[in-house]
Each structure stands twice: as C-alpha cells, then as structure tokens.
Structure 1
C-alpha cells in the first residue's frame, strides 16, 4: 500500500501529460481547414470549336395556278415537294366529269406552274399560261360558240365540235348515240357528266 502511494504522483503526472497531448491534438483538428473537394476536369479538346447550331433555312411555298375541271380555280400556295394531286385537292377537288387519267397526279410541282384538269372527251387542253396577266385575262378555254342552240339530232360533226369541251371523238359519240328525246339524254354518252351538260345546255336543243 505504501508503494502504491509513492507512485500516485507519477500516475497523476503521466495522466495529465496524455490528457494535454490528446487535448492539443483535438484542438488542432478543429482548427485545421476542411479538405477541398477534388474537381475532375474533362480532357482538353484540340482543334474543336464550340459553335452554335446553324439555323435551318426555310423554303418558300410554291405558288400554283389550278384551272379546268376543278371546283375552285385559282392560285394556291402549297408546301415544297407537293404533287399535282395536292394542288387539285387545294382547289376543292376535281369535278365529276374531270379526266384525271389524262394528267399525272404524281408529278412534282414547281413554283409558278399551271395545272389544267381537262374534261372527259376534251381533245386539246389550253397551253400553260406564261404569266399572271395572261392567267387573269384567260382563266378558261375559249371556243367559237354557235350563235343559236344547235339540234343534237341534226347537227354536223363540225357544229358539235364548236361546243365547249367537245372534240372529234366526243362529237362522233354524240352522233352515234342519236336520236335524243331531250337534252338530258346526253348523260348516257360516255364522257358527258352533269357539269359538262350544264356548260352545254345554253348551246344545244332537241326538236
């Protein structure tokens, strides 16, 4: 017991020493600035420029004049890569007596083009118009119309060909289908529809 008492001062001194050491280390750790985060940078690029994407060019719409056997003749604006079929649709569609077989519906359009839709039995559609002034002054085909209505049962082939939309083939069919009891009998002739009959009505008769 006496020996233990002799070592008490040494134990106290040793304990105080380690307390001071650990205390100093603790205080030093609190005062040390926090470690900076490590930033990982991408590798440098050589010969590559960061440029904004180039704006895409906008294409102007096509202006197409549609005439003939359509519901609404006129100039229409269509998107690029449009076809003849699209132009006819913009014009309200083709009439009942339109001869769509005579034109290429899959033909790609170009700006300023004229699309003429003929009537069934029409021999020679009008040539394309060169400019807007010509289109304004001549929107429909012209004919040497008869001064008075002609009789469908007695008219010659030349007289029948003077009717709007009637060519040699249609005139021959009109003569072949005789006799007629009324003007409406023309509807039984191949290529003659309601629209064509409406155009012919002022120039024909049946006696």
Structure 2
C-alpha cells in the first residue's frame, strides 16, 4: 500500500511540475512585446497641406494660328503657350513677346502683329500684370507692381522688392538712372533694364 501511495505522490508532483511549466510559458513575463505600436491620429488633428495647381489657364490672342484658352503645366513659358496655339502667324512681331518668360495662371498673352502696338491687359504677352505699370510697352518704375517688375530682365522677387522699397523711401523715380542707386543694380543690370523701363 505504501509503495502505491509513494508512486501516486511522485506522479502528482511530476504532473504539478508540468502544469507549472506550461502555465509559466503561457503567462506574460512583463517584457515588451515584439508587436509594433500603432499610433492612431484623428482626422481633426491632421493639418491639410495646400496643393499647388498642376495646370495654368492662359488666354492666347493676337498673331497665333489658333487663338483661344489653353491649359498648360505649371512652370510653362510663353513659348509653350504660343506652341499650344499653333505657333505664330507669318505677320507676327516676334520681338513683341519674350518667349522665355514664365507664365502665370489666368494671364492673357497677346502676340502682336508687325506694326501693331498692344495695349497691355492684365498678364499680357509683354509680361505686365496690369496696365498701370506699362507706358508705351515699357514698365513704369513709378507705378509698376512687384509682379510687373519681375517681368523685366535680371529682376526677380528680391530685386523687385528692392525697387519698391527704394520708391517708398525716396519717392518717385525722376529718371531711369535712379536705378543705379539701388543696392544690387550694377552696370550690367542697368544696361539690361534701361530700354525696358520708363518713369
């Protein structure tokens, strides 16, 4: 009887040990899990990023084969708009437009005929953003906007801002040569601008 009791006790101990090991394997050990954490962001906390229009709308008129409204990729230049309109006609004044100028959305591009003087509407082919800054096809330094000034050769946003600052601090330009008083306007820049501007 005693041997049977000892054998049963040994079996019970082995069974208890096996259960303890099994439970230990299944229970958590307090260590970090290998499953990556998931961050949930509510829609209200997401800041919308404005998107830039992928196309430009340009109204091409004048001495082109097919005048009309065209959509062009952002960053297109006047040469692209003229090409979209079928190219210039045989009587187009090619010197009347700056083919390298970058286009802006919503502008009207006019290619003049030979001998024609174009009154510059908003965003016209000569690069004006408004008729107020244009006189006889030249940009008026006393009335031009920053956008109009940027259509000039060698004038980017920084130089246009300097011209406007000078005008604010010193009043009207009395001559084109006043440009030489602006920081950053050297002889080469002045030579490129002097025939394109007026006062």
Question: Is TM (by shorter chain) over 0.5?
Answer: no
TM-score between the two structures when normalised by the length of structure 2:
0.41
Tell me which structure has the larger Cα radius of gyration: 1
TM-score between the two structures when normalised by the length of structure 1:
0.40
Structure with the greater relative contact order (CA < 8 A, sep ≥ 6): 1 or 2? Answer: 1
